[in-house]
Structure 1
Amino acid sequence: MSTKPVLIKTSHLLPGGLHTYIVPEAFYLSVLSQAGNPPELLIAMQEEGYELETPSAISPIVTLCHVADFDRHDTHHMALTLQGIECVKVESITLGDNDVKLGTYSPLPQWRQQNTPQEYEYLSNKLAQYYRSNPALHHHFNLAQYDELGWVCLRWLELLPIEVKQKQLLLSQPSPNQVAEFIDKLLRYPLENDE
């Protein structure tokens, strides 16, 4: 097992994704000093609008990330760009130097790469359309893999406002096929309000 600093965020980052987080400079320096070489961090999911009761109550499937870039955001903050590498399981949380949360984690089985089947090409096309209409949200077109089913499903899981426990259940599936089926139904047949 390995140990890395944990960031608990409502902006979810999954393998193959890229996201920039604004963090206090002092926190950034503390995290980086405990992130190893090359620096790697864990991003844990937090429900939008809810504070965790205790840091040890995070959802266990988190994303191991490497630092893709960093820049000064303002006088006291840094813009930290992370790229997701793989999903791992956090076994325990402790406090490191300067109260940085450290997660001890173990590997999880990773999805086997597979081409997007014709029945789910709709998901790829819809995702590409969404990013084209929101270019500020997708700075890494060179990393796009619209023909790879797992990558497409992970991007949808980052974007969709699904409860964290539902995302965790989907990430624990043995392949992206079940996830694609869920997302496909959600997008094609959204829940309707009976009122």
Structure 2
Amino acid sequence: MSIHPLLIETNHLLPGGVNTYIVSEAFYLDALPQAGEPPRLLVAMIDIDEISPQAPSTPRPSTISPIVTLCQVADFNRHDPQQIALTLQGIESVKVEAIERGERDIDLARHTPLPIWRRQTVPEPYHYLSDKLKQYYRSNPGLHDHFQLTQYDDIGWVCLRWLELLPIEVKQKQLLLSQPNALFVAEFIDKLLRYPLTDPE
């Protein structure tokens, strides 16, 4: 069992993905010594409507969804005098077993690894998922300035990127991440994109 500092974010990051988070300089300086070598952080999911309006920038891990992403620090830059732009790259999904308070009030999560989806070529019926994803990133290049290891031919990688992008509730994402392989997830995303749910008038 391993232990690493915990970030709780509405911008979800999954294995193989890259995202930049704005964190306080205090958090960065306090968390880094507790992040191991090389430094690793955990990113947990939260729905935006779960953030308290009284403390929107500091959600607490009283109850978080158990599947989180172990990440490596890909880059960091000063955002302003008191904030750091921290770019993280997802490594693997892990399961949180316990949360404790570390030094300087940093939340630490003890975690165990989860099975990794076997690499699998994108089946022909789902080629459009890969093509649409490629088009999306080409039209939004700023989203993935650090993204160099694209895997548009791997159905698992493609599904994880869609799960980052789609406005699906965290509970649903957690269920999909727990599936034994990516084809179950591809089937769900395919149905969602072909037959999107609409609110009754």
User: Do these two structures clear the TM 0.5 threshold for a shared fold by scoring above it?
Assistant: yes
- Displacement after TM superposition at 1:45 (Å): 0.3
Amino acid at match of 1:4: H
Does the alignment pair 1:116 with 2:122? Answer: yes
1:45-64 correspondence runs (5 A): 45-51=45-51, 55-64=61-70
Summarize the Cα distance change of 1:107–1:168 in structure 2 as closer, same or farther, 3 Å threshold.
same
Aligned equivalent of 1:152: 158
Aligned equivalent of 1:15: 15
Runs ≥4 residues deviating over 4 A: none
Aligned equivalent of 1:28: 28
Please identify, of 144-153 and 46-55, the stretch whose mean Cα deviation from structure 2 is larger: 46-55
8 Å contact kept, 1:68–1:82: yes
Please give the per-residue CA displacement for 1:155-182, whole angstroms capped at 9, x wherever unaligned: 0000000000000000000000000000
> Which of the residues 139, 152, 166 maps onto 2:145?
139
What TM-score do you get using the length of structure 2 for normalisation? 0.94
- Displacement after TM superposition at 1:105 (Å): 0.2
Please identify, of 128-137 and 80-89, the stretch whose mean Cα deviation from structure 2 is larger: 128-137
Please give the per-residue CA displacement for 1:1-51, whole angstroms capped at 9, x wherever unaligned: 010000000010000000011111011000101101100010000111213
- Displacement after TM superposition at 1:191 (Å): 1.3
Rounded Cα–Cα distance in structure 2 between residues aligned with 1:68 and 1:83? 6
What TM-score do you get using the length of structure 1 for normalisation? 0.96
* Equivalent residues, number: 195
Rounded Cα–Cα distance in structure 2 between residues aligned with 1:193 and 1:57? 29
Please give the per-residue CA displacement for 1:113-164, whole angstroms capped at 9, x wherever unaligned: 0110111001000111111111111224421110000000000000000000
Please give the per-residue CA displacement for 1:54-78, whole angstroms capped at 9, x wherever unaligned: 5141000000000011111111111
Summarize the Cα distance change of 1:70–1:54 in structure 2 as closer, same or farther, 3 Å threshold.
closer
Please identify, of 61-70 and 42-51, the stretch whose mean Cα deviation from structure 2 is larger: 42-51
Supply the RMSD in Å over aligned alpha carbons: 1.3
Rounded Cα–Cα distance in structure 1 between residues aligned with 2:146 and 2:188? 26
Amino acid at match of 2:135: Q
Aligned equivalent of 2:92: 86
Aligned equivalent of 1:106: 112
8 Å contact kept, 1:124–1:152: yes
> Which of the residues 47, 67, 73 maps onto 1:67?
73
Rounded Cα–Cα distance in structure 1 between residues aligned with 2:190 and 2:105? 41
What fraction of aligned residue pairs are identical, expressed as a percent?
Answer: 67
Aligned equivalent of 1:126: 132
Determine helix, strand or coil for the equivalent of 1:55: coil
Does the alignment pair 1:173 with 2:196? Answer: no
Determine helix, strand or coil for the equivalent of 2:148: helix
Aligned equivalent of 1:192: 198
